[in-house]
């Protein structure tokens, strides 16, 4: 199945470069372009892409606001957002995840890594670059965004004990294969538990499970060592 991509960046030259790169792959195609977050939402509603490759810093409506609007729309529940930006800071990563983004890449990423990232997000997996270290990210994820109600452990009430266990390990950054080895399950069984947890919690993808896991205190950030 062809992965349909929408490019959102205020720099026309970058959009053209990304279009050439994406369209060169037989399993991907660019279906639309946008110069800011508002236009990205409008184009997404018109074309229903699988992924929006979204820049953060854009004039007018920025990528974070565009991501939040796009991910809040029930008509775009099948569309995922991969954030691409020069400003790869922990707070931006956390804001993007809170807004509903499925992944985050810096603009210094290689062409191969970008294409791999698009495929990863299209498959429903979370994507964070090594620079977005878990110890720093979780400091922000555990704090609700301003104006929103904090998540509580009661939100996990419908999960089975196994689903909570798998979700917690996923939130620690472990792959399905690693979780399977830890719990003596098959990777397919792990994937099933992940998808059931996503369905019960209304999570768009694995990235949103990570946010929920930290905000409900299912998992906690690692303690900092005192030197």
Model pTM above 0.85 = no
| CATH code for the domain defined by 145-215 | 1.10.10.10
Beta bridge partners of 136: none
The CB density around residue 12, as the number of other CB atoms within 10 Å, is 10
Average pLDDT score over residue span 198-225: 79
- 102-115 exposure pattern, b = at least 16 Cβ within 10 A, e = fewer: bbbbbeeeeeeebb
Same fold, 3-132 and 145-215: no
Domain ranges in the chain are 3-132, 145-215
Average pLDDT score over residue span 197-223: 81
- pLDDT, one tens digit per residue, over 118-136 is 998 888 776 665 445 454 4
- pLDDT, one tens digit per residue, over 45-64 is 999 999 999 998 898 899 99
- 147-172 exposure pattern, b = at least 16 Cβ within 10 A, e = fewer: eeeebeeeebeebeeebbbbbebbbe
Q: Do 49 and 5 touch, CB atoms closer than 8 A?
A: yes
| CATH code for the domain defined by 3-132 | 3.40.50.2300
Residues 6+ apart with CB under 8 A from 74: none
* pLDDT at 134 (0 to 100): 53
């Amino acid at each position: 199945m062809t992965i349909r991509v929408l490019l959102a960046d205020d720099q026309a030259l970058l959009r053209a470069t990304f279009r050439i790169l994406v369209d060169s792959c037989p399993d991907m195609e660019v279906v639309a372009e946008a110069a800011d977050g508002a236009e990205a939402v409008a184009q997404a509603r018109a074309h229903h892409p699988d992924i929006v490759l979204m820049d953060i810093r854009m004039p007018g409506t920025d990528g974070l606001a565009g991501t939040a609007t796009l991910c809040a729309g029930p008509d775009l529940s099948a569309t995922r957002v991969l954030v691409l930006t020069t400003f790869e800071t922990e707070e931006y990563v956390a804001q993007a995840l809170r807004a509903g983004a499925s992944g985050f890449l810096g603009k210094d990423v290689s062409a191969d890594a970008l294409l791999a990232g698009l495929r990863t997000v299209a498959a429903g997996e979370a994507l964070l670059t090594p620079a977005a270290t878990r110890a720093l990210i979780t400091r922000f994820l555990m704090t609700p965004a301003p104006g929103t109600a904090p998540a509580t452990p009661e939100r996990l009430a419908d999960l089975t004990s196994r689903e909570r266990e798998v979700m917690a390990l996923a939130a620690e950054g472990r792959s399905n294969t690693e979780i399977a080895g830890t719990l003596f399950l098959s990777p397919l069984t792990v994937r099933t538990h992940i998808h059931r947890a996503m369905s019960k919690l209304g999570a768009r993808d694995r990235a949103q499970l990570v946010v929920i896991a930290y905000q409900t205190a299912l998992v906690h950030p690692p303690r900092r060592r005192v030197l």
